Chain A
Amino acid sequence: MTKPGDQLLFSTVKRDYRPWLLLLNAAVATTGGLLLPAALAGAVDMALSGTFVLATIVFLLVLAGVEILGDAIGIILAASITARATAWLRRRLTRRLLTLGHPSPFAAGDAVSRVTGDCGNAGSVAVTVISLAVTAVSSVGSVIALALLDWRLAAVFLVSAPLAGYLVRTHMRLTADDVLAYQEVSGEVSARLLDSVSGLRTIAAAGIADRETNRVLEPLPRLAAAGAGMWRTQAKMMWRAGLLLPAVEVAVLTAAGFGVMEGRLSTGDVLAALGYAALGMGIVGQMTQLTVLERTRASAGRIAEVLDTPAPKRPAPKPSNGVIELRHVSVGDALHDVNLMIPAGTFAAIVGSSGAGKSTLAAVLGGLSAVDAGEVVGDDAVGYAFERPALLGATIGRSIGYGTDADEIQVRDAAVAAQVHDVLIRLPQGYETPMADAPLSGGEAQRVGLARAIIRDPEVLVLDDATASLDTVTEAKVDKALTTALPGRTRVVVTHRPATAARADLVVWLEDGRVRGTGTHQELWNDEDYRAVFTGGE
């Protein structure tokens, strides 16, 4: 049964020569490991005979050396193979997700878990398969070795081992319920902590931190109870597992004992039998590796799903000197048959109640996202600013110049134009402050986002509610600065504010994904429904 990710796993293994090295190394080390109990038996017999034989000791030393060295090389090779495969998958996946662009068919959190979690799982495929193969080979080899000592030993082992293995397996399922209960309560504590953390200022100002700590910790006794349950179940499992190896060992030892008595086996051979029994039981411990392999395949499937998603077709936008035209544009449930013409240099406002499709329209007309039907004729130089910008890049300064090769002076100029320079120089390290250490409010982040749009000197500027968190005076300042910094550019603004709509040359009024009306704010103001967009219908 092949899964969609199997092809991907295959090519992951195939692109590197190291798995072959690991296999070779494993072959040598396993051979050494299989010969070792016999060599040890020989050495013990030698010791019991009372005469020192150099060759026997040297043979034992060489085999041990081969095994130890093989293990050491194996650790490094395995890590190197997994790390390389993981990094390769991560790079491929990241590149693909970036190509798929916005809006992504995969939710951000999901995409991150595919890059961090699934790639790590899938990257270990070669090592998992090889270690499974090695365990299988050494288990089979042990049984053969037992048979070579005495066929009765192998028979006893083959009867007792599967029985013991079955005992362990049936109890793997027991923990699931406890784990679930534990995770639920743990999630409840986290949710309560998140509540309190969101209200940290209220808590601090009211001095009720201790009381709220108790509130968060209320489910703790249940958590401890669930945890204790987990340990009890695990204790049962350990009990069974703890009996497993001794049971098989006693069976094999008894058989070996009779062998000694009847002269078929030497005393050293008893040791060898013990060693081979332990080695043969290795496959029981490796049962979990089968689950790991299944997980690996599932993860590969999730990666392949992204890699196999076709990128949406985006017609290459040509320079159009700032004119934007939409013909019969539809996007999913958001927009239906939208026709629109925004002349160059126009200040257009897109208004409508929430859910009317404003942001989708803004994304489509600048070529940020693809359309399902219809045609968009737009410019190739579009600057975007958003209500909640994701500011990327190492430092706050770099987040403004993101995706460009702008120098410090250009970054500063853009920040000045976006009315955020005064804020940024007040940060602990000014423009060099790392993004993670820059405590920006919603309004400040919006203005940094504006600076990021301004620095690209676009023909068309699309502001998707990008000044929503600014107070009116700052918004007016930003507005004026934009006109000065980017004179004569087409500007499309998604807004909730009447004052902004009033300043626009053209208002596009959206309702349920369709254009309800176009015109100036004054013209549209006579319509009661239009006024309701701003006043909330009071």
Chain B
Amino acid sequence: MRFYLSTLAGHRRGVLILLGWSMLEGIPAFFGGRLVGTAVDQGFAAGDPLAGVLWLLAFAALAVAGALGQRQVFARLGAVVEPMRDALVTRVVKGVLNDPSHRRTPDASAVAMITRHVEVVRDATAGVLVQARALLVTTIAALIGLATTAAALIWLVVLPIVAALLLFGLMLPSLAKRQRDAVMADERTAEASGAVLTGLRDVAACDAAAEAYGDVAKQINLQARATVTVAWANSLRATVIAIGGFTPVVLLVAFAPPLVASGQLTTGAVLAAVVYLTNSVNPALHGLARTTSTVVMRLMVALKRLQEAAPRTGKEIGTEIPANGEFVLRDVTFGWSPDAEPVLRGLSLDLRPGDHLAVVGPSGIGKSTMASLLTGLMPPDNGCVLFGGAPVDRVAPTVRHHAIALIPQETYLFTGTVRENLTLLAPWATDEDLVDAVKKVGAKPLLDGLGGLDAALGHGGEGLSAGEAQLLALARVYVTSAGVVILDEATSHLDPAAEARVERAFAQRNGILVVIAHRLSSALRANRVLVMDGGKPLLGSHEHLLKTSALYGQLMLAWDPTHRKETPLPKR
């Protein structure tokens, strides 16, 4: 919210121009009543039709000026609203991409939600600027107009309006709460029905139609109830505003007779006062009530959601410079929360250039945690992960990102040329470097098939198979100068032969290679193997582990029960 307001304040000039045009828009409200009154008073009622028509034409001319003002207001709205939307989108995207919690990545529906909320903020801001501004200008203009024509009655008019607005302001918090509840109920209904309808197969498989229906129906009914609750609050608000708007009219006509009789008020003044109230003030008041209850609430909810989607990150930036390219892990322990079982316990490990480590173990045991710890994305709970003698998460980011490269299982490809995708981490790489890297990881046929480095890729590597996408991600890291390469199941969609080729290519780079293994054949190629099984981690060479670890033997046996040999897959 503070961000939102400060962004709006940043466009003060635009807002001021908007207000300037609003003055023009307010002119009919200011003169309208008086002109109608004069037209009758000095024109038609005085038997001078020409004067009456002329006064009415003046009224029409002012209306045209007002409409012109309104036109300018809308045309200028873009200059305030669009930059505000730009700033908002920039901040949300930055927040999402800098999100420190890399455990739960937002999915397609979350991105769609972000888009929707940004649009709500845009529309609602425009709505508030149009409505609230119009209310302000119109009411003030009309009240001034009223004061100049029927000054004696001004307090009868102002007091009820002020009282209604005060009461309305007092009602706002509870109105806001109900509106928020209704929005939440709406979202929960969409979530519940979305979960069940995308999982119809599983509902059928579980024979759980009754439970699924119950879950969804519960949210549907709660949502209906929340809507009616909001309606009660809205109804009360409308009543307060309507009474506040109509009371001045009644007071006016009730108190006017003695003043008219004594000559203090002319016919035209009474007429003008009523026109001011019914044609300008009342519509503006109703507009205010409508805007606050719906638009402002939608705005608040959307801003809150956007803030949740993109939390502001205040990460400290490390400044340590590593002395060399070696990793030293001592007694490293890590768990997702203090209550949960740690996924890694008491791991000690040294890695030097030339080392090729394979990490194997059952799925879900936290092998990817190793990757996050080594890249400094997360600090360990206990123990230390030192890179060149410095805690890796405290190493200066520029140094760290150049020295350590991670290729995760989920590939990042974006819309652009193949070249742009391949030079993501090494913008300085030449075409020869790129083609060489592509050849090394065995992606040359793929590159040729795509049509070379200038070929365009669609969103998310659209049209490529998962394996092909992984090959491009691998070539992208191969071309960098990173001394430490971590493959986190980065070859999971390649066939065994292609996987072997990739691992050998990276091993020949003479840096540190860590392979978080998808297939156990990766362990055969490594000179050291780390077995993670939830307990104390085991470390050693393949032969050593075969002799000493029952779990490791079991892993190998399960891999290929029919052959009992260390062949990766049955060959023809």
Contact = CB atoms under 8 A, between A and B. Distances in A.
B59 A47 contact: no
B228 A423 contact: no
Given A210-B94, A235-B75, A403 B66 contact: no
A52 interface: yes
B572 A535 contact: yes
Interface string B162-202: 00000000000000000000000000011001111111111
Nearest to B199: A390
Residue in B57, B82, B238, B555 with the greatest tally of chain A CB atoms within 10 Å: B82
Contacts, number: 496
B179 to A, nearest CB: 12
Interface in B231-270: 231-232, 234-236, 238-239, 242-243, 246, 249-250, 252-254, 256-258, 260-261, 267, 270
B526 interface: no
A227 interface: yes
A35 interface: no
Q: Looking at chain A's contact residues, is the secondary structure mostly helix, strand, loop, or mixed?
A: helix
B497 A538 contact: yes
Contacts of A449: 202
Nearest to B222: A87
Contacts of A316: none
B411 interface: yes
Interface stretch (A138-146, A466-474, A508-516): A466-474
B520 A472 contact: yes
A267 interface: yes
Q: Looking at chain B's contact residues, is the secondary structure mostly helix, strand, loop, or mixed?
A: helix
Nearest to B211: A403
B115 interface: yes
A61 B377 CA distance: 71
A504 B99 CA distance: 46
A169 interface: no
Contact of B207 (A73, A403, A473, A502): A403
Contact of B85 (A60, A207, A227): A227
Interface in B108-161: 108, 110-112, 114-115, 119, 122, 126
A216 interface: yes
Interface stretch (A89-97, A154-162, A324-332, A334-342): A89-97
Interface stretch (B324-332, B399-407, B502-510): B399-407
Interface stretch (A238-246, A408-416, A482-490): A238-246
* B: contact size bracket: 35 or more
Interface in A225-275: 227-228, 230-232, 234-236, 238-239, 242-243, 246-247, 249-250, 253-254, 257-258, 260-261, 267, 270-271, 274-275
A343 to B, nearest CB: 23
A148 interface: no
Interface string A374-401: 0000000011101001111110000000
A195 B413 contact: yes
Interface stretch (A109-117, A297-305, A344-352): A109-117
B256 A47 contact: yes
Contacts of B198: 108-109, 112, 390
Nearest to B64: A243
Contacts of A44: 253, 270-271, 274
A48 B63 CA distance: 27
B292 interface: no
A444 B569 CA distance: 25
A442 to B, nearest CB: 8
Interface in B342-380: 343, 360-364, 375, 377
A14 interface: no
Interface stretch (B41-49, B297-305, B431-439): B41-49
Interface string B27-59: 010000000100110011101010011001101
Interface stretch (B4-12, B382-390, B539-547, B556-564): B556-564
A525 B252 CA distance: 100
B307 interface: no
A402 interface: yes
A447 B364 contact: yes
A57 interface: yes
A369 B205 CA distance: 9
Contacts of B571: 535
Contact of B234 (A75, A208, A242): A75
A72 B289 CA distance: 13
Residue in A194, A232, A391, A498 with the greatest tally of chain B CB atoms within 10 Å: A194
Contacts of B296: none
B366 to A, nearest CB: 8
Given A195-B415, A267-B45, A72 B236 contact: yes
B308 interface: no
Interface in A44-58: 44, 46-52, 57
Interface string B198-229: 11111111111111110111001101110110
B250 A57 contact: yes
Interface string B503-542: 0000000000000001010000000000000100000000
Interface stretch (A2-10, A286-294, A425-433): A425-433
A309 interface: no
A2 to B, nearest CB: 28
Given A98-B212, A260-B44, A80 B459 contact: no
A194 B459 contact: yes
Contacts of B232: 76
A536 interface: yes
Contacts of B211: 393, 402-403
B227 A83 contact: yes
Interface string A64-101: 10011101110110111011101100110011011101
B570 A392 contact: no
Interface string A141-178: 00000000000000000000000000000000000000
A369 B199 CA distance: 14
Residue in A78, A104, A224 with the greatest tally of chain B CB atoms within 10 Å: A224
A521 B115 CA distance: 51
A133 interface: no
B452 interface: no
A21 interface: no
A419 B558 CA distance: 15
B105 A50 contact: no
B339 A428 contact: yes
Contacts of A103: 200-201
A507 interface: no
Contact of A428 (B66, B93, B336, B562): B336
B412 interface: yes
A126 to B, nearest CB: 15
Contact of B221 (A68, A87, A98, A444): A87
Contact of A472 (B40, B213, B416, B558): B558
Contacts of B337: 428
Given A75-B238, A499-B562, A260 B224 contact: no
Nearest to B557: A476
A278 B282 CA distance: 13
A278 B32 CA distance: 15
Contact of B569 (A90, A91, A498): A498
B105 A197 contact: yes
B189 A116 contact: yes
Contacts of B454: none
A75 B78 contact: no
B106 to A, nearest CB: 5
Contact of A267 (B110, B271, B339): B271
A204 B377 contact: yes
26 contacts: A40-B274, A40-B278, A52-B254, A52-B257, A72-B236, A80-B228, A116-B189, A199-B414, A200-B97, A217-B93, A230-B78, A232-B74, A232-B75, A246-B66, A250-B60, A253-B39, A257-B39, A257-B53, A260-B44, A267-B40, A271-B275, A392-B196, A402-B202, A441-B364, A443-B364, A498-B569
Given A68-B239, A198-B460, A232-B74, 8 more contacts: A49-B260, A75-B238, A79-B234, A101-B204, A111-B197, A201-B102, A257-B52, A474-B362
